Structure 1
């Protein structure tokens, strides 16, 4: 029995699909299938019911799952203990980042960390905040820079790097540009261009609308803040963004949206159980974000 067989078994159990499990562990689907089959042969029992499209755990698979996880956790603890004795940090880190959110302190932290620990493999992935948080919870990402509404998830470690209000971003020759503040009830009378659901800014905006009993007229959704601003500049609608996102578009006017009590937060989130590699990365992240 090999640790990689247990890793592949757990990946299939989590994903309920051999193809997705193969993508998660970065090997071919046939490789995952072969290793799981070898594990089943050694244990003398089928771990998955393969009769349908979904790979479901059998009774034997369900019984094996917690022990497989315990074995992998014990192996990780062993490696961490030896690394601590040797003063080494090694491994691989997957870092998540909100799509289109190019935050330079994160890049600076990763560069500084790489200079200090060049043997650690780094992977940077982009997605919306909802998916990134799910990846951190599932363990497929170690840390992620996400947008959330109100507060970071309670069950994750977190470091808030920005707490901002929302603004309406408009061309200077449009009626809202002359306002010192745009009430939410007035904002929803305009066609809107927003970020997609699953982002912190959109969640703050949507929750405020629900609380006020308002139905916004979202005419277009774009995944990158720059695209939202450019579409607003071309008259597609009023852009809804955070203050910092709006600040890099000086040709447009940012008008504070009033009546939104739930702030949009940008935060680093991670699982409470830290690997040595993640423990070494976090001080770089805190230093770079706190100095900006």
Structure 2
């Protein structure tokens, strides 16, 4: 798949007219049609149906449109950045990532950013959200990836990337693992593993108390990896985001009667001019389909 094929497809999807799309892309209609046909061959099906003067997307076309749009947006952002910084020897980016974020999601955005910026110099910081926000306000971080947007400082601007469902985390041999879903009442009296860096877990404990379900908080961990370690060791149960990879021997189950999720968001300090690298990262993060395998 080549980028001009994606551009032609998006133009036809936008205009629903091959002639107008060819004009917008500054190519001949036969060239645009051939590129679309080649794309259809690669994807294994028709993307458009043409009925006289009427053109519309097929089911396959509608399914791939948002993915191709994100691919095109990310490529355009990377190209714009490369044009902007091609004479620079070093392009710094100080990025803060909260402990609770599934860091494997960063691999593709950072890989594409590095390939687009010859002089990228990345400084990656992890920690509690409050600490990272303070560092950003002081100018030490250019951009943040956060998991809680309910009480951000007024000067912080954020864009939600996805909503991550929150699931019950337990060992595969746990008696509750045989259930398709778990009710809140089933956790009554359970040995619970808390994580002070996670507002979602604190909110869940409070919700359980309000509904008369007492959780025995006996162990505490500093981050997501430590939570999984303690659950794997058989010390109790906990929560985890659905996007996180699991250690061997652990499973997750959805709640039966509680709906929990959290925001994954990219944030910067409002009113502060973003560097070229920070701007490109924000755009790349917003273009990515988070929680979906690349």
Q: What's the CA shift string for 1:115-162, capped at 9, x where partnerless?
A: 333334321001022322333333321111122176876753323233
Structure 1: distance between partners of 2:251 and 2:280 = 41
In the alignment of these two chains, the number of paired residues is 206
Name the counterpart of 2:265.
Answer: 267
Relative to its length, the structure with more helix (as a share) is: 1
- Per the TM alignment, residue 241 of structure 1 is displaced from its structure 2 partner at its CA by 1.2
Structure 2: distance between partners of 1:107 and 1:118 = 17
Structure 2: distance between partners of 1:153 and 1:214 = 33
Q: What's the CA shift string for 1:145-198, capped at 9, x where partnerless?
A: 12217687675332323313322222233332233332334424201123x223
- Per the TM alignment, residue 264 of structure 1 is displaced from its structure 2 partner at its CA by 1.7
Structure 2: distance between partners of 1:127 and 1:142 = 15
Residues 229, 104 of structure 1: alpha-carbon distance in 2 compared, 3 angstrom cutoff? closer
Structure 2: distance between partners of 1:123 and 1:222 = 25
- Over aligned residues, Cα RMSD in angstroms? 3.3
Name the counterpart of 1:175.
Answer: 175
1:40-119 alignment to 2 at 5 Å?
Answer: 87-88=84-85, 92-99=92-99, 101-119=101-119
Conserved? CA contact 2:144–2:266, under 8 Å: yes
Conserved? CA contact 1:106–1:289, under 8 Å: no
TM-score, scaled to structure 2? 0.58
Name the counterpart of 1:193.
Answer: 193
Stretches of structure 1 lacking an aligned partner (at least 5 in a row) = 1-83
TM-score, scaled to structure 1? 0.58
Name the counterpart of 1:227.
Answer: 226
Conserved? CA contact 1:109–1:281, under 8 Å: yes
